[in-house]
Amino acid sequence: MAFAAALAATVTRSPTPAGRAGPFLLSTMANASENLSMTPQPTTPPARDPEIAVKEEYQIARRLGTAEALELFIARHPEGPFADQARADLRRIRR
């Protein structure tokens, strides 16, 4: 904070062609001193759409094509929109 105050004092004494400090420069320095004290805020990624996440999980289980992958999907989403399809895929694999 002391650095910003000293810098602002220097700027206010610095002459412009008209012999006075320019308002733009002063306001820029005031904003800069405020920004020096700010700490960066962590960002949070947006939440995923749960329906898309379930669909992607089903597609991965199906692509793996193993009984274990489909059983895991069904255990995680027993009433989900792709549960019946996963059960049908599992029956096909077990034949």
Residue 60 within any structural domain of the chain: yes
Asked if residue 43 belongs to a domain, the reply is: no
Residue 45 belongs to some domain of the structure:
no
- Is 44 part of a structural domain of the chain? no
Do the domain assignments include residue 18? yes
Tell me if residue 74 falls in helix, strand or coil.
Answer: helix
Residue 70 resides in a domain:
yes
Q: How many domains does the chain have?
A: 2
Span 8-26, average pLDDT: 52
pLDDT bracket for residue 7 (50, 70, 90): very low
Are 25 and 57 in a shared domain? no
Give the range of the structural domain holding residue 64, as residue numbers without chain letter: 50-94
Q: Tell whether 61 and 90 lie within a shared domain.
A: yes
Packing angle of the helix pair 50-64, 67-76 (nearest 10 deg): 160
How far apart are alpha carbons 10 and 32 in whole angstroms? 14
Residue 78 inside a domain? The answer is yes
Query: Tell me: the pLDDT tens digits for 46-81?
Result: 888 999 999 999 999 999 999 999 999 999 999 999
